[in-house]
Structure 1
């Protein structure tokens, strides 16, 4: 049986499934599409290239109105320090850029594989299906930061809007420090590929 994973990530589960089923389990991942350098989205890539190493966070977004999803005054405070892209963004290219140190993800399997392959810290925001289980796996290997939810399991955009500017700035600084530390993740992935290639 072939699985889109790699031994360093799920070694004990691969071995267990092999014993349980009696068949050989072969990890063939991560199956991540090669990045094609097209001349599309140049504004995004030029902006990223102007930033320091591991200094940006890429939030994978869902279709939503920016004004409703972000804290009041967020876009004004961010100014030139950040970029908000509405619509589709080249996720793979963004994750390979050296300025990207973190990735806000719903924890779909392909997003996790891309984050691990490109050595980017994952800020987990699982929504449904296999995503909560996937987020626990990234927790187990220690390459994540979790976004806390209310007691009903919901994210509160109203709560985010009500937080003070200093409080939000402090959270951003903590996240950026973790992203700078994500070089450890890049080394972890390279080591696993060398060992189990």
Structure 2
């Protein structure tokens, strides 16, 4: 019985190797990071005065790991660490199992995939850089792993844009209230389409 428990424990450790690797990388990359507590499935870290929680689960097939990251103070964003997590598999080529798990798995930060985070950054940049217009980005709300709702403003008109990270393209869908003139809606729709094409070219190029 003891032998069977030991085998189960070793199997669990291998199964949650992705969580362990990400924990150790964060502790290594942040000099002021420390471990609060952990078990096989969950890790609680502290970076300076901020707390970060990592929890590993799997997709519905039980094959691909998913790391859920709660980062209330956005420490990972502030320190521009998202790209590191997005490319977390790089440098692990010598460990085939770990490399495959990291490359095929997903990391969600405050509900959004690292893919979506980069897409939102480029969509926001696209609106802010539209020539001759002054768009304002108010907030990002209703975040899901592969879509989020942006709240924006053009002049006095407020509107939402649903940003979807589809398999083959990025989709932007503006939504307006009844007081927004048709001419303004048409203007925003045209800008949104151009930004959609630009961001899709960046993120979905073959």
Give the alignment's TM-score, normalised by structure 1.
0.27
Give the alignment's TM-score, normalised by structure 2.
0.27
Bigger share in helix: 1
Bigger share in strand: 2
